[in-house]
């Protein structure tokens, strides 16, 4: 059996809450590949990669905290580590590197 994350990364699909499958758009797949590439290049931890993926989707800090069941301080620490490792200072710079619109 595959987890939702494994299905999404291996097969390019997401599981809906109702149990159905939807395919990712070409843009979503491209961003996902960029997140994986940056995670390897900048040696992000698995949790930092999760945070980066959610940031790349345009999710807010509050939503990411709820989805990952983490405190605000933990979210901020992960984000700070991502920015430090990537040599950037803002979400705008992150979006530019990932090639996504803010």
Residue 60 lies in a domain: yes
What's the domain range around 84? 25-98
pTM attached to this predicted model: 0.77
What CATH number is associated with residue 78?
1.10.10.10
Using one digit for the tens of pLDDT, what is the confidence trace for 45-64?
Answer: 999 999 999 999 999 999 99
Domain membership flag for residue 1: no
Nearest to 35 by CA among 95, 84, 76: 95
Q: Where would I find the beta strands (DSSP E) of the chain?
A: 13-15, 21-23
User: From CA 28, how far away is CA 100, in angstroms rounded?
Assistant: 10
Evaluate whether residue 20 is within a structural domain.
Answer: no
Asked if residue 18 belongs to a domain, the reply is: no
User: Both tokens of residue 87?
Assistant: 């040599």
Tell whether 32 is covered by a domain: yes
- The average confidence (pLDDT) of the chain is 85
**Residue 11 domain flag:** no
What does the block give as tokens for 93?
């710079």
Task: Identify whether 64 is part of a domain.
Answer: yes
């Amino acid at each position: 059996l595959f987890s939702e994350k494994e299905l999404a990364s291996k097969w390019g699909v997401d599981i809906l809450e109702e149990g159905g499958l939807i395919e990712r758009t070409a843009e979503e797949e491209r961003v996902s590949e960029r997140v994986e590439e940056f995670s390897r290049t900048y040696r992000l931890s698995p949790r930092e990669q999760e945070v980066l993926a959610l940031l790349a989707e345009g999710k807010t800090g509050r939503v990411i905290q709820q989805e990952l069941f983490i405190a605000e301080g933990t979210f901020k620490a992960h984000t700070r580590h991502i920015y430090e490792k990537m040599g950037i200072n803002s979400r705008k710079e992150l979006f530019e590197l990932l090639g996504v619109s803010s």
